[in-house]
Amino acid sequence: MRVFLLLKVENITCIRQDRCLFENLSFELPQSTIMQLEGPNGAGKTSLFRILAGFTRLEQGKRFWFGKNVVDDEETFLSELLYIGHKTGVNTQLNAVENIRFWQETHGYTHISKNDVSDCYDLLANLGLVGLEDIPVRMLSAGQQRRVALARLWISEAKLWMLDEPFTAVDKKGVTLLQEQFKKQLARGGSVFLTSHQDLTEHFEDLKILSLEYKI
Amino acid sequence: MQRQYSYRQLFISVYKKDVLLAFRQRSEIINPLLFFLIVISLFPLGIGPEPQLLARMAPGIIWVAALLSTMLGLDKIFRDDYQDGSLEQLLVSPYPTSLIVIAKVTAHWSITGLPLVLLSPMFGLLLNLDSNAMQAAIITLLIGTPLLSLIGAIGAGLTVGLQKGGILLSLLVLPLYIPVLIFATSAIDTSAMSLDYTGQLAILGAMLAIALVMAPFAVSSALKVSVS
């Protein structure tokens, strides 16, 4: 199988409050690859993610998606990107099913039938949230709230998953579940790009590591 | 599961979510209305309850109260979504941001503007408006309140990233409301004199049409600035 280059980043620079976080950063992310972004607090991991996802305007450098500049065709890039940041985008007034449904509907995933929630219930059961489907998310614990957000990984068909600290507040069993899901994503030709302070080398043999250094 | 991009589906989902949330927190709907009622009932107390004086001032009172009560809910349009990260998720969805903005503004209008329009006959009675002027008041509110929501959303988008954007939002948005206020009150005044007020309505309608086309793009740029 030919391996395509999903994302290519060229000469990205990020300056925050007169401090240069990284300069002329270039890297490549091929298909079926898991890449971990490492670095101490304040090294610019989240800043890099926000630049790649397009929240922060690129002052210098380029992003390429399948060889095409992302600026020219942002829609294609965004339709193949799943981004989960520190702020997970889960509304705490709504319940888990409503949250998942809303995310699905606003990202183009159709469900079988409008009134059929069984697929949603199965998914939540799989994530260990049985019996908590109808409760407003604010009543759930931090880890459970995070699980509701991470349920998107079981729905998403995006080729690139960008996850900023996905393991925060998730228990050991949850971490195992997530790693299994990462493997599925790799098997179907997608890639995972994540920040984490956990050591993932023992779970993923060909883990690529991108390190950022804290610069003063 | 397959992906299907439908603008209609997106509009309905975003709209439904905001309206559902408003109904879960009913204070969001009721508070601006109560505020409107209180402001209107303060005027007779302050300037005296003479029916003619009130009828003369009614257009101004109704519209100033409408401006202020719209301001109350404005901050909420994007605030919650910004704080919990839903806004980021919507920005990285492949849908155009301006469409999401239109859906959210429509939802905001149906929560704050529409109840105001529906209850305006009652408020008109409180101020001794005659039937001609009442009709004009309802029509101007019907055209004017969506305009207020659209213009207000630009300010809300710009200030959503700030810790205490509430006052700044009023300072930004209220001056932009002045043309609406001028033409709307003028229409009601004219109708009270049994004259033709279609001219003012046409200008209000033109402003609404322009805002409907331009504001969503302004708001989406404002949101992108706020999120970055």
Shared domain for A103 and A177, answered yes or no, is no
How far, in Å, CA of A96 to CA of A131, rounded?
11
Domain count, chain A: 2
Query: ipTM of this complex > 0.90?
Result: no
B162 touches chain A (CB under 8 A): no
Other beta carbons less than 10 A from residue B195's beta carbon: 10
Per-residue DSSP letters for B91-120? HTSSS-HHHHHHHHHHHHIIIIIHHHHHHH
Q: Are residues A72 and A2 in the same domain?
A: yes
Per-residue pLDDT of chain A (216 residues; tens, 9 = 90+): 567 888 898 888 888 888 888 888 888 898 888 999 888 888 888 889 999 988 888 888 889 998 888 888 888 888 889 999 888 889 999 989 889 888 888 888 876 555 566 778 888 888 888 888 889 999 999 999 999 999 989 888 888 999 999 888 888 889 999 999 999 999 988 899 999 888 888 888 888 888 888 877
Could you give the dihedral angle defined by the CA atoms of residues B101, B107, B108 and B112, in that order, rounded to the nearest 10 degrees? Answer: 160
Of A79, A87, A92, the CB nearest to B88: A87
CA angle B160, B87, B211 (to 5 degrees): 65
DSSP category for residue A96: H
pLDDT at position B14 over 70: yes
Mean of pLDDT values over B57-71? 91
Are residues A92 and A35 both part of a single domain? no
Q: Has residue B52 been placed in a domain?
A: yes
Which residues, in sequence order, are CB contacts of B175 under 8 Å at separation 6+? none
Give the phi and the psi of residue A27 in degrees, each rounded to 5.
-160, 170
With CB atoms and an 8 Å threshold, state whether A78 touches B88.
no
- B83–chain A Cβ distance below 8 A for any pair: yes
A126 and A136 together in one domain:
yes
Q: Which residues pair with B21 in a beta bridge?
A: none
Same domain, A162 and A213: yes
Give the range of the structural domain holding residue A107, as residue numbers without chain letter: 84-156
Residues A195 and A137 in one domain: no
Number of domains present in the structure of chain B: 1
Residues in chain A with CB shorter than 8 Å from the CB of B88 are: 55, 83, 85, 87, 89
Partner-chain contact B92 A81, CB within 8 Å = yes
Q: Cβ–Cβ contacts within 10 Å for residue B186, how many?
A: 18
Distance CA B6, CA B106 (A): 18
pLDDT at B72 exceeding the cut of 70: yes
Kind of pairing between the strands at A62-65 and A208-211: unpaired
Q: N- to C-terminal Cα distance for chain A?
A: 44
Residue B110 lies in a domain: yes
pLDDT classification of B76: cutoffs 50, 70, 90: confident
Distance CA A132, CA A100 (A): 13
Q: Do B21 and A94 touch (CB under 8 A)?
A: yes
CA–CA distance, A41 with A37 (Å, rounded to integer): 12
User: Cα(A105)–Cα(A99) distance, rounded to whole angstroms?
Assistant: 10
CA-nearest residue to B92 within chain A is A78
pLDDT at A121: 86
Mean pLDDT over B24-28 rounds to 88
- CA–CA distance from A33 to each of A80, A165, A182, A205, B81 (Å)? 15, 18, 10, 11, 32
Does residue B1 belong to any structural domain of this protein? no
Domain holding B146, by residue range, is 7-227
Q: Is residue B32 assigned to a domain?
A: yes
Nearest C-alpha neighbor of B22 from the set A93, A95, A92, A138 = A93
Contact B184, B162 (CB under 8 A): no
β-strand partners of A211 = A38
A109, A132, A156 - which closes a domain: A156
Domain membership of residue B20 (yes or no) is: yes
A76 and A177 assigned to the same domain: yes
**A90 and A36, same structural domain?**
no
Is residue A126 located within the same domain as residue A197?
no
User: Is A155 at the interface with chain B, CB within 8 A?
Assistant: yes
**CB neighbours of B80 closer than 8 A, spacing ≥ 6?**
A91, A93, B21, B86
Domain co-membership, A18 together with A113: no
Q: Are residues A168 and A189 in the same domain?
A: yes
Q: Does B131 reside within a domain?
A: yes
Q: Please identify, among A156, A173, A205, the residue that sits at the C-terminal boundary of a domain.
A: A156
- Tell me the C-alpha to C-alpha distance, in Å, between residue A84 and each of A33, A90, A183, B109, B175: 18, 10, 18, 30, 38
How many alpha carbons fall within 13 Å on the CB side of residue B124? 22
Q: Cβ contacts of residue A166 below 8 Å, gap of 6+?
A: A84, A146, A150, A178, A194, A196
| Cβ pair A174, A143 in contact under 8 A | yes
Residue B2 lies in a domain: no
Query: What are residue B5's phi and psi, to 5 degrees?
Result: -95, 115
The CATH number of the domain where A2 resides is what?
A: 3.40.50.300
